[in-house]
Amino acid sequence: MSIQRSWLFVPGDKQKMIKNTKDLETDIIIFDLEDSVLEKNKLEAIKNINNFISYDNDYENNYYVRINNDSSQSALKDITSIFNKKIKGFILPKSECPNQIICVDRKLSQLEKEQKVRKGEIKVIPLIESAKGVLNAFELGKSSNRVKCLAFGSLDYILDIDAEETSDRLEIFYAQSKLVVASRAAGIEPPIDTVFPDIENINGLYRESEYAKKLGFQGKLLIHPSQIDVINKVFSPTLTDIEEAKKIINIIQESPNQGVFRLDGKMIDGPVIKKAKTILNKAETLGIVKK
């Protein structure tokens, strides 16, 4: 079971920031070639990322790259320039239609064959940032076996639908819910929630992360290392969750023929048992409980 709670964007043209990623506790590093990098610095960013990854011998690192997607040729050019078997996948911004994913899939298949990488190993994560992307979320999720999960970009989405950013985030509720449902229907992993841009507002980050978790997201994009601990904590099982899950599994192991039973005033049935197993598996992967 892979853990993908915190997804940190790191500007590709900031060499010092790239080097410092080795000391961070984030689950995923996203080297950025898009919004955080000026056009004049794109080539420098590609060089920095290539150099860092080439000299990193730790194949366990989860490195992704957000490429440019202002045109299909731009996306394919970035992939060709930075393709490396140590990269787990590519984030495709402004994803709106399946053809964008299919074009990237074909290019990756070509590069995998040329560089003798196992076919389909490199993943693609469509970043949904527009009304069209939200409406096509299911089709994007089904467009390729490479699609690991969807991710949400609220800043561009709010701009696209001409909404106003509010503290209660009502303007993005529909999009968030649509991505969760579409992901489940498409048979892919739960989506990754949008960034929280107010870096100094830790309480706000807690609230928004808790809300996203309750909606069904598996993690959150972040833009600063100071946000890592909060996001990792929120998207990890709590001790209360773990203890309750243990009780449920213990009862099932002692009486495997029970279909429905009562525990601490709650009715426990199949879906609740399945959830308990998921919680314990995640806790074991994180090392919170022993296997």
What pTM was estimated for this model as a whole? 0.88
pLDDT band at 117 (very low <50, low <70, confident <90, very high): confident
On whether the CB atoms of residues 147 and 124 are closer than 8 A, the answer is: yes
Q: What pLDDT score was predicted for residue 261?
A: 80
Q: What pLDDT score was predicted for residue 75?
A: 87
The 10 Å Cβ neighbour count of residue 198 is: 12
Q: What pLDDT score was predicted for residue 57?
A: 60
pLDDT surpasses 90 at 206: yes
Residue 152, C-beta contacts closer than 8 angstroms, at least 6 positions apart: 127, 128, 129, 172, 175, 176, 179, 191, 192, 193, 194, 221
CA distance 8 to 263: 39
Q: What pLDDT score was predicted for residue 72?
A: 59
Spell out the domains of the chain, with CATH numbers in brackets.
Answer: 6-234 (3.20.20.60), 239-286 (no CATH)
Looking at residues 25-53, what average pLDDT do you find?
A: 90
pLDDT surpasses 60 at 59: no
Percentage of the chain modeled with pLDDT above 70: 96
- Residue positions counted in the chain: 291
As given in the structure block, the two tokens for residue 43 are 């080539």
Percentage of the chain modeled with pLDDT above 90: 62
Q: What pLDDT score was predicted for residue 55?
A: 78
Q: What pLDDT score was predicted for residue 281?
A: 86
CA distance 204 to 60: 32
pLDDT digits (tens, 9 = 90+) for 218-267: 999 999 999 999 999 999 998 888 988 888 888 888 877 777 888 887 88
pLDDT digits (tens, 9 = 90+) for 133-152: 999 999 999 999 999 999 99
As given in the structure block, the two tokens for residue 118 are 């196992």
